[in-house]
């Protein structure tokens, strides 16, 4: 990877991590088009720069995350992240193989778009508008929905937002809880990938060029994600999910055409 490729992937991560359009899917496609998808460092980079995006959530919602004695809030996040931790540990190898398949991304983007087009009419009459009213049982259910995002192109944000709305959360609260849930989920995924890299390819993390790219990527992802969160919440309040549904359908269709023409591998 070079610096230009780093900047491109970091911008994509920051823009798409918290929008219901799949950050992983977009980075898989981008790295495939740039010809760096088979590079082991690229795969590590795509996970580790999520740390920058995580930090943007903590900064944007700092009043929610601090002080650290909000045990009930943190307990809900722990309960919600348990399903992803268990399934991630059990099927990590199979998930890694799926991450190498642009066709899976194209299909899930396309199909997921139709779901987003109808989500506001499917889940009507929400009753929960405050995080304090989310029970442990509802938090766990949202965590189960989030596990769908292990299929590339599904979008962790989309899966957990749909889960939240299915549990009677307003679309704004569902989006915000999805952001909160991203923190332990992505910390766990990043920590696992880094530990695995230290054990299997320690030289990759000793390379100063690689470390520089990771630092640059995280900084860019942080700044862009901060702007994306602010935009998404404001847009969601006024317009709902249809724009993102149509975007997924159009992009998914284009990717399917590129794949079957042999341009995307």
- Asked if the structure places residue 265 within a domain, the reply is no
Position 161 pLDDT exceeds 90: yes
pLDDT score, position 231: 92
Question: What is the predicted pLDDT for the residue at 208?
Answer: 93
In a domain, 162, yes or no: yes
Farthest-apart Cα atoms in the chain, separation? 55
Six token digits for residue 198: 């230290």
Mean pLDDT (the chain) is: 90
Which class for 53: exposed (0-12), middle (13-18), buried (19 or more C-beta within 10 A)? Answer: buried
Which stretches of the chain are DSSP H helices? 3-16, 23-33, 40-48, 50-60, 62-65, 71-98, 102-122, 136-146, 156-166, 171-200, 202-206, 208-239, 242-260
Chain segment 211-247, per-residue pLDDT in tens = 999 999 999 999 999 999 999 998 988 888 999 999 9
Asked whether residue 161 is domain-assigned, the answer is yes
Predicted pLDDT at 151: 85
**Residue 133 domain flag:** yes
User: By the 8 A CB rule, do 225 and 17 touch?
Assistant: yes
CB contact at 8 A, 236 and 175: yes
Cα dist from 196 to 47, 72, 116, 163, 202, whole Å:
12, 32, 35, 30, 9
Tell me: pLDDT of 260 over 80. yes
Sequence-distant (≥ 6) Cβ neighbours of residue 216 within 8 angstroms? 3, 6, 7, 10
Please check whether residue 60 lies inside any domain of the structure: yes
Q: At what angle do helices 40-48 and 3-16 cross, to 10 degrees?
A: 40
Residue 238, domain extent: 3-260
| Cα angle 187-240-228, degrees, rounded to a multiple of 5 | 40
User: Is residue 251, in this structure, part of any structural domain at all?
Assistant: yes
Question: Is residue 250 assigned to a domain?
Answer: yes
pLDDT of residue 30: 92
Q: How confident is the model at residue 52 (pLDDT cuts 50, 70, 90)?
A: very high
Name the residue with tokens 């799926």: 98
Domain-located, residue 118: yes
Query: What pLDDT, in 10s, does the model give residues 92-117?
Result: 666 666 555 788 889 999 999 999 99
Q: Which residue has the higher pLDDT, 93 or 254?
A: 254
Tell me the pLDDT band of 152, cut-offs 50, 70 and 90.
Answer: confident
Average pLDDT over residues 127-148: 95
pLDDT single digits (tens) 172-188 = 999 999 999 999 999 98
Total count of domains within the chain: 1
């Amino acid at each position: 990877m070079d610096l230009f490729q780093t900047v491109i992937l970091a911008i994509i991560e920051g823009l798409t991590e918290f929008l219901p359009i799949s950050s992983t899917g977009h980075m898989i496609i981008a790295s495939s088009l740039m010809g760096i998808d088979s590079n082991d460092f690229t795969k590590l980079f795509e996970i580790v720069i999520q740390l920058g995006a995580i930090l943007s959530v903590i900064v944007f919602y700092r009043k929610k995350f601090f002080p650290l004695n909000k045990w009930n809030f943190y307990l809900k996040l722990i309960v919600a992240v348990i399903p992803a931790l268990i399934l991630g540990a059990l099927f990590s190898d199979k998930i890694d193989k799926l991450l190498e398949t642009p066709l899976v991304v194209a299909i899930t983007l396309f199909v997921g778009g139709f779901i987003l087009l109808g989500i506001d009419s499917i889940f009507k009459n929400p009753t929960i508008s405050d995080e304090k009213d989310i029970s442990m049982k509802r938090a766990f259910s949202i965590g189960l929905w989030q596990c769908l995002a292990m299929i590339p192109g599904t979008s962790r944000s989309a899966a957990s937002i749909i889960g939240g709305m299915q549990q009677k959360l307003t679309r704004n609260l569902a989006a915000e809880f999805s952001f909160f849930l991203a923190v332990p989920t992505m910390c766990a995924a990043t920590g696992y990938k880094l530990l695995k890299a230290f054990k299997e390819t320690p030289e990759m993390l000793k390379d100063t060029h690689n470390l520089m790219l990771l630092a640059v990527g995280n900084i860019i992802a942080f700044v862009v994600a901060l702007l994306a969160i602010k935009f998404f919440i404001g847009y969601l309040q006024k317009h709902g999910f249809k724009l993102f549904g149509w975007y997924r359908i159009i992009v998914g269709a284009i990717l399917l055409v590129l794949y079957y023409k042999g341009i995307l591998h």
